[in-house]
């Protein structure tokens, strides 16, 4: 049992220090491997290195009884990566999970806000207090740059180049990227830093751009609470969550004619196939554009 724990700890060190994966990804791996270790202990399987095909089938049965399809898919991906590491490290010769396929997941319909809904939300945030100036800057930046929450809360003052209108930040997987900032977001960010941030920071010294009312670094949970507060004041049937603004940013860029490769670069996607999901959610826009501009559309006068 101790061997299993040591191997898992070695793997976590590998993804933390060699692959330099994000904290959230590492926590996800740890949770999945803990479920696997729980199953091994319950089934009295002493060595993680000697798992038989029958035992894997029992594990799959256990997963499908206790997890939904997306969780099963994620756990299997984690275990493939874990055993791939053990093969690479010479602990085993073959990955026992390499032939296990993930369950087919139903295609999700990606919801977005249209441009007017984004505008309505951003304009609903007042700017009469230090905290409101901060909030306005955060949400303008979220949409202007298609940022993730973790990127917003980890943003440092030294990452902002106001002269060039650029922001540098470390994204998912510790990948650095640089993105332009729109005029509205840049103006709001400038006002917040000049007029409000000092009053939040007070005697505490911090390099983080966005601070809570105690002068400490904004947390992901804090960001969510702020979003919920403003979402409750906007009349919309849509569930507002941070990544919705990233989805909307990417879709609006493509709808306005941005090149897919450029959007991939701006979002920090390793694979263009990840970015391509946004080309499948604006079919209505494509159809409307066709009938508006195609010279042989019957609705046009010749």
Tokens of 268: 């920090």
Give the pLDDT confidence of 158-192 residue by residue, as tens digits: 999 999 999 998 777 777 888 999 999 999 999 99
76-99 mean pLDDT: 94
Ordered structural domains, the chain, with CATH: 2-88 (1.10.150.130), 115-288 (1.10.443.10)
Please, what's the largest Cα pairwise distance for the chain?
A: 79
Give the pLDDT confidence of 201-218 residue by residue, as tens digits: 987 889 999 999 999 999
State the pLDDT at residue 301: 45
For the annotated catalytic residues, the residue numbers are: 148, 172, 243, 246, 269, 278
31-57 mean pLDDT: 91
pLDDT band at 302 (very low <50, low <70, confident <90, very high): very low
């Amino acid at each position: 049992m101790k061997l299993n724990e040591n191997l898992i700890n070695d793997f976590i060190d590998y993804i933390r220090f060699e692959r330099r994966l994000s904290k959230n990804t590492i926590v996800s791996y740890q949770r999945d491997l803990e479920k696997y270790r729980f199953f091994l202990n319950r089934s009295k399987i002493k060595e993680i290195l000697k798992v038989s095909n029958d035992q894997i089938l029992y594990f799959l049965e256990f997963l499908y009884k206790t997890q939904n399809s997306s969780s099963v898919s994620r756990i299997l991906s984690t275990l493939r990566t874990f055993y791939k590491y053990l093969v690479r490290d010479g602990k085993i010769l073959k990955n026992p999970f390499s032939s296990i396929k993930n369950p087919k997941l139903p295609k999700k319909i990606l919801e977005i806000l249209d441009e007017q809904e984004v505008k309505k939300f951003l304009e609903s945030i007042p700017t009469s207090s230090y905290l409101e100036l901060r909030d306005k800057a955060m949400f303008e930046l979220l949409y202007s740059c298609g940022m993730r929450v973790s990127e917003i809360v980890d943003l440092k003052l030294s990452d902002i180049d106001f002269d060039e209108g650029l922001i540098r930040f470390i994204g998912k997987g510790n990948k650095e990227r640089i993105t332009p900032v729109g005029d509205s977001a840049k103006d709001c960010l400038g006002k917040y830093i000049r007029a409000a941030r000092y009053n939040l920071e007070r005697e505490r010294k911090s390099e983080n751009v966005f601070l809570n009312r105690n002068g400490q670094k904004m947390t992901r949970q804090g960001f969510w609470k702020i979003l919920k507060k403003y979402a409750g004041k906007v009349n919309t049937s849509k569930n507002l969550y941070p990544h919705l603004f990233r989805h909307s940013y990417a879709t609006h860029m493509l709808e306005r004619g941005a090149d897919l490769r450029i959007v991939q670069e701006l979002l920090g996607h390793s694979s263009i196939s990840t970015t391509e999901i946004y080309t499948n959610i604006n079919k209505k826009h494509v159809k409307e554009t066709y009938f508006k501009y195609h010279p042989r559309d019957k609705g046009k006068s010749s």
